[in-house]
Amino acid sequence: TEEKELLQDAAVVGKVFWLGALTAISGRERARTEELLHHLERREFVHRQRHSSFGSESEYAFRHILVRDVAYGQIPRPARADKHRSAAEWIESLGRPEDNAETVAHHYLTALELMEVAGQPLDDVAGAARRALREAGNRALALAAARPAAAFFGSALELWPEGDPERAHLLLRL
């Protein structure tokens, strides 16, 4: 059961995932999470990457995308939304917001969409999602990626309150 839950947590992060993300999502102790990952590695569900894109965090990947897809599909929507929010918060905690803006926006937006479908209140995540989308738009614009920037800014505008003064700045960026 613990291994299955860990695979589901990893599936939320993506095809590639990190030990720190899994401990943040699951609330398990780091040592126990490492032990479970070792079992999953021996059973050839996942493998450890030689180099990590997040510095000192151990990076893993699914051996087959089908395992990830099945694990992800088995998570109930409300739980999936919570896991996406936890993943976004973990990535934000790493710092380097300009490098991770798109990933953070993806996780918050996915959490928001799942919460909406499940009929959960959106207030907590909506603010974080719109700020993440704005930052992702700024990042894309800085990289001269006009279409992705417009998509991020447009999504942020859909979530931004009408009377908020920041909305005008966002419209100008768009």
Measured CA to CA, the distance from residue 167 to residue 160 in angstroms comes to 6
Confidence of residue 163 (pLDDT cuts 50, 70, 90): confident
E strand or H helix that includes residue 18 = strand 16-18
Task: Look at residue 43 in the predicted model and tell me its pLDDT.
Answer: 94
pLDDT 10s digits, 45-104: 999 988 877 777 888 999 999 999 999 999 998 899 999 999 999 988 887 767 788 999
What is the pTM assigned to this prediction? 0.88
Tell me which residue of 131, 90, 76, 139 sits closest to 109, measured CA to CA. 131
Task: Give the mean model confidence (pLDDT) for residues 16-26.
Answer: 92
Q: What is the pLDDT of residue 117?
A: 86
**Residue-level pLDDT at 118:** 79
- The pLDDT score that the predictor gives to residue 86 is 93
pLDDT tens digits for range 144-154: 999 999 999 99
In 43-96, alpha helices (H):
65-73, 77-93
Tell me the angle at which helices 77-93 and 19-26 cross, rounded to the nearest 10 degrees: 130
pLDDT at 113 over 80: yes
